[in-house]
Structure 1
Amino acid sequence: MKHLDLLNEFNTSLAQLAVEIETSSAMQLYDINKVSENLVLGLMRELFGWNQLRNLNMDEKTNFPGIDLADDNARVAIQVTSTSGLDKIKNSIETFRSYRLNERYDRLIVYVLTRKQGSYSQAALNRATEGAIDFIADRDVMDYRDLASRAANANPRQLLAVLEVLRSYQRGGVSSGLAEADFDPPTSVFEKVNLNLLEVYFPSTIYVADLRADDGKRQGKRHRNERKVVREILTSLNLRAPSDYEVNANRLITFHALDDEHGPFAKLIECGTVTPLGSREFYGIDDDHERIFKSLLRFSLQQKLFKHGVHWKHEDGLFVFMPLKDNDLLREETWVGQKTSTRRVFERKLNKNDPNKLFVCKHFAFGADFVRADDGWYIALTPDWFFSYGDDFRRSAYADESISWLKRKEVNRTVSDHFRFLTSWLGALDQDDLFSVTAGPASTMTFGNAVSFANHPALDDDAWLPLRDLVEDEDTSPIKGLFDTP
């Protein structure tokens, strides 16, 4: 195999690993982090020549304080983490110093399993070291891109050795920097798995502008919810503006161009302060800007879905399917999987004794979180249910009990079908929005493909799924018998 082919395979596999780890962390599944310690050990042993590098959590004690890997001869210590923030780096340095590990090792490296920040405050890190260790952020905070850069300068034999470490990890072996012949053949087979992640796309440019200081509702005041104040001002001025914007530190942030003097936000901002930024440039500044950007994405999603009869329920953290017309008893959506199917997403049950009165409504719903992995953004979809009553669809007092009963009736295939429906339906919205002739601002968000991996260890469902408890079939629920299970 040519040297360039080896390098491309190494870089691609490393980037895929970072996505897997960030996805697992977002789902609060952290086992992969511990397994990855040995992978990092093998990669650094081969790339940096630290032949005595070992895992302290295995060799000395579980959860060794401050560091995970070390080479006593090279006097190098490594902390492996999936957290990239400045506070984590400072905490690693302070722990390293408090246990006087600087007397044992000359260099501390913090390796970020996902993606490190674009920059770190060197002054803050210097205060954390208190002169006990020479720690330089650009040199000593690493992620997979630093390993890829190191591999680009490796000789062919060294590159092949480090690639074998990565291949062994993908095959299920223990990555310790050994050659392929040192590993037993994998005993498990692999299967393709779909994650609950969907690619999401947005404009490459974001606009930031200062809010005007001469508005009566804001002048001389600090507000806990600045966005709410802006919304009230828009209402008082009888201005219709898109809802996909965020407000932070007296700045309005949106994907919509703010340099239009006739735009809906023109009366609220200082036009001379409008600054277009690359979206990546904005969210890459620090964790706070990434948090603001995620909030903007959620507002963009809210606006897109609201036009299609899916409303955001803030207290429940759910997007909920609503009837398309006020008096509709049912709402069904057509979607395409292996074949064209129909999904019931809303159903209204009336009082048996008085058909003019509502008893309860059942809504299909889902949670949505935004995840950044490598150079891409994804939306994590969690199918759910919502039960309501009243004309304004307030949460039903029986919601928790009803949802618990309903979910016990669902199996893996049911949940998978929920997700497949959502991916198909959301994808179809892009085409609807493209050809829509209805009034309103264009959507700033579109969707791509679901994320899947082909190298996941195969699981025998019959062996690991719990047996069904027949007692559950005797459960009572306020909705039992009212709605068919999906």
Structure 2
Amino acid sequence: MKQVEIENQLREVVSRLMTEVDLATKQGRLDLNLISEDAWIPILKEVYQCPNLVNLNRKHKNFPGIDLGDEQDRVAFQVTSSTDLEKVKSTLEQFKKRNYKNAFDELYIFTLRAKQKSYSQEAIDKVIGDDIRFDPKDHIIDPGDILATITGLRLPAQERMLQEFRTILGDVQTSVHELNAPENAPYILVSNLIEVTPPKALYVAELCIDEESTLVAARRDFNYKGQRPKKHLLVRFALQIAGLDCYGWTIHENRIFTFYDMERESAFRSVVDIGSIEELMTEDISQHELVEYQNLFKYLMKDTVRDQLLAFNVNWSKQQKQFYFLPNEKDADQRKEEWVGKKLSRRTVFERKLQKKDPTKVAFFKHLAFDISFLDVDSQWYATVTPSWYYTFNLYRPSIFHVDLLTKQKRLEHNHSVRDQVRFIGYFLSHNRNEEDLIGFGDLVELQCLSNISLEENEELEEALEGEDACAN
């Protein structure tokens, strides 16, 4: 069932993404593909098995002919919103002219919109000759081709790809809104990035728990009836038995990592070798040379935020991999939150929907939802916000109509409504916190921009504005 839900969500988000890019391209916004180059790297890495894929334009500005490349596995990608044969031929001409075959064996042309039904192999062969092998059926790809490959991956990989697609969709929608601003008019671009302040230290210790007695207690106190659980669940049981119910910790190589001070928190001391407790600076893990430790740090950030948001009745859906708003009171029909956009207003974040045929019965619950992911830019941490909706039948588990209801809701939303959702969530995260919270959220990143200049000129403008304290970061 979950596999079907994830695949339906993937189809829905990919379809919306391609529609957004197609509309923007038809409006002459061809620079939209430049915005998407970096965003596609995690997806292309997994789908095409090229773990060292990087943006070549980071090495040389406007790297001619190709955008992304893995020099170890010798695979290159051109990312474009153009789908015609002439674009294909010009890309191949550049590839041949600059002797990229010395660095790459394989070239893919990735169109952000639906590609043509066919391309002339004869016309392509006239351009490349015998220099490289390029079959348009295999080497011209679009998001639909990527989706087809993803559906053959295992469920955890599909869930990761779904979050990446959601992030890209959010970025594209924000960019389309920016590009559609009135010509020559200065405007404030509100991104989906929120400044984040992580804790200065984290703690690590060797695990040391009595597994047998913990399992006996879990069956007695929590009515656990399963077989021997995995270590993560066993540790969670042990912490709960010791009086601590939290998610802000993770296990790696039989060690537990957390931002909570294990020297002071007795529950953690009950599951570790006390003599092995070590305090580290966050940079020791977040800037570690191994990607697995960098990812561990991000997972730890998210799980700690999960603890923080529970205090404000914002839950985490394990099935949907996103946060969502619960009612403040169990039997409430609605939940509204005050926030300040252009003016003070109230936003509905939860509703109880009744059946039309029998108004005494609940049809479903509608929750405003969102996902956040963390990224590090020159040692400044940010959270990216991707808004959505969650439909449940009991406040926790998804309704059997969730996918259909979500699809219908997304069709009703325009760019400005998604933008307002991002602004509201940013406001909520930055204004709802307790003194003991370990992770702090700042304001959404805003940039003052001009709509009639190129992206390169805009970057120069931003640098100038920073020097005059006129650009809000």
- TM-score norm. by structure 1 comes to 0.54
> 1:231 and 1:240 mapped to 2: Cα distance?
9
2:445 to 444, 448, 451: 451
Q: Is the 8 A contact 1:23 1:373 kept in 2?
A: no
Q: Does 2:299 match 1:291?
A: no
Amino acid at match of 1:247: I
Report deviation, 1:353: 4.7
Equivalent of 2:319, from 308, 315, 321?
315
1: distance between equivalents of 2:331 and 2:185? 53
CA distance in structure 1 between the aligned counterparts of 2:363 and 2:440, rounded to whole angstroms? 37
- 1:443 Cα shift? 1.6
Q: Could you say which residue in structure 2 is the equivalent of 1:39?
A: 61
Contact 2:206 2:273 in 1 (8 A): yes
1:428-439 equivalence runs, <5 A: 428-430=431-433, 433-434=434-435
State the distance in 2 between where 1:395 and 1:452 align: 35
Specify the alignment match of 1:363 in structure 2: 367
Q: Letter of the aligned partner of 2:297 in structure 1?
A: F
SS in 1 for 2:413: coil
Q: Does 1:275 align with 2:260?
A: no
* 2:237 partner SS: helix
> Within 5 A, what are the aligned runs for 1:73-472?
192-212=188-208, 214-216=210-212, 225-235=230-240, 237-260=241-264, 263-285=266-288, 286-390=290-394, 392-430=395-433, 433-434=434-435, 442-454=436-448, 458=452
Instruction: Tell me the amino acid that sits aligned with residue 231 of structure 2.
Output: E
* Cα shift readout 1:47-78 (whole Å, capped 9, x = no counterpart): xxxxxxxx99836358924648xxxxxxxxxx
User: Which residue number in structure 1 is paired with residue 126 of structure 2?
Assistant: none
Cα separation, partners in 2 of 1:67 and 1:453, compared to 1, 3 Å: farther
Does the 8 Å CA contact 1:198/1:380 hold for their aligned counterparts? Answer: yes
Measured on the aligned residues, the alpha-carbon RMSD in Å equals 3.7
CA distance in 2, matches of 1:38, 1:359: 56
CA distance in structure 1 between the partners assigned to 2:57 and 2:206 by the alignment: 47
The 3-state SS of whatever aligns with 2:100 is coil
What amino acid does structure 2 have at the position aligned with 1:39? K
After superposition, the C-alpha distances for 1:143-202 in whole angstroms (9 at most, x for unaligned) are xxxxxxxxxxxxxxxxxxxxxxxxxxxxxxxxxxxxxxxxxxxx9998653321111112
Would the aligned equivalents of 2:242 and 2:270 in 1 still touch at CA under 8 Å? no
- Count of residue pairs brought into register by the alignment: 296
SS at match of 2:387: strand
CA contact (8 A) 1:200 1:447 kept: yes
> 2:69: which partner in 1?
none
8 Å contact 1:190–1:458 — kept in the other structure? no
2: CA distance, partners of 1:358 / 1:331: 16
Q: Which has the higher helix share?
A: 2
**TM superposition shift of 1:240:** 2.0
Q: CA deviation at 1:450?
A: 1.6
CA distance in 2, matches of 1:379, 1:256: 21
Counterparts of 1:290 and 1:217 in 2: how far apart (Å)?
34
Query: Cα 1:327–1:212, aligned 2, differ >3 Å: closer, same or farther?
Result: same
TM-score (norm 2): 0.55
List 4+ stretches of structure 1 deviating above 6 A. Answer: 20-23, 26-30, 187-190
Q: What is the correspondence of 1:57-72 to structure 2 with a 5 Å cutoff?
A: 58=94, 60=96, 64-65=100-101, 67=103
Preserved CA contact (<8 Å) 1:243 1:300 = yes
Quote the offset at 1:251 in angstroms. 0.8
In 1, distance between residues paired with 2:263 and 2:337?
Answer: 39
Using the aligned pairs only, state the percent identity: 26
- Look up the SS of the partner of 2:424 in the other structure: helix
Q: What CA distance in whole angstroms lies between the structure 2 residues aligned with 1:377 and 1:267?
A: 32
Distance of aligned partners of 1:37 and 1:456 in 2 relative to their CA distance in 1, 3 Å threshold: farther
Given that residues 314 and 326 in structure 2 are in contact (C-alpha distance below 8 angstroms), is that contact kept between their aligned partners in structure 1?
A: yes
User: For 1:66 and 1:294, how far apart are their aligned partners in 2?
Assistant: 37
